[in-house]
Amino acid sequence: MSAGGCGEPSPSRPVEEPQAAADQVEDCLLLVWQRQATRTERFDRENDRVKGGAISCATGTSPSQFEAALAAIRAAAASGDKAALLAELGMPLLYIDAAGNRRELQQDELADALFDDVFSPDVLALLRRVRLEDLTVVPDQGAFVELGSIWLVVDSFGGRPRIVTVNRQALGEAAAAARDAARQGQGRPAPLNE
C-alpha cells in the first residue's frame, strides 16, 4: 500500500528540493495517522526514512507500527514462542527454501512440522536481531531485510505489518555477501552460516 506517490522521486520525475521531499513525507504521515487510533508523532517523524524512502509513503503505515511488529517478532524469536511468531504472519506465507523452491503455506501447515523448516536457526537468528533501521522499503510492495530474506507487508492502510515471505535462499546469499565484504575490509563478518 502506498500513500499516493509520496517519497523517493521516480526516474521520470526530477529530483525534488529537500523541503519538498520533507513536506511529502509529512503528508504521508498525516494520511497514515488519520487511520490510527494513537499516534507516536515524534518517533514516526524521526524514523520514517530508511533505505528506499519513507516508510509511511512506501507502505501506507507508520514507523511506530513497524517498530511494534518488529519488537513482537524479536521477542517471539528470542523466546521460541511459536504461537506468538505465527501471530505475526500474513497468510498465505510464501516460503522459499535454500534451494529456491517456492511454496505458499497456510497457518495450519506451519503449526505442524513445517514450522522448524521455515523458521530454521538462521532465520530465527535474523528475526532476533532485526531492527527498524535495517529495513528497505519498496513502494506498493512492502519492506524487507537481508536481500529479501524477510518481507513484511501492510494489509490495511495505517495497519500493522506482517511477515509474508521467508526466503532462506536470499538469507544464504546475504550471509555470503556480508562475508565477502568483510574479507575485503568493507564490513564485519556475517553472523549467519559461518
What pTM was computed for the model? Answer: 0.81
Locate 31 and state its grid cell.
494520511
Q: Which of 104, 113, 107, 62 is nearest to 88 (CA)?
A: 107
Q: Are strands 161-167 and 89-96 parallel, antiparallel or unpaired?
A: parallel
CB 155 within 8 A of CB 90: yes
Q: What is the pLDDT along the chain (194 residues), one digit of tens a residue?
A: 544 445 444 444 444 455 555 567 779 999 999 999 999 999 999 999 999 999 999 999 999 999 999 999 999 999 999 999 999 999 999 999 999 999 999 988 888 779 999 999 999 999 999 999 999 999 999 999 999 999 999 999 999 999 999 999 999 888 787 777 778 876 555 555 44
Backbone region of residue 73 per phi and psi (left: phi > 0; alpha: psi in -120 to 50; beta: other values): alpha
Q: In the chain, what are the domain boundaries?
A: 18-183
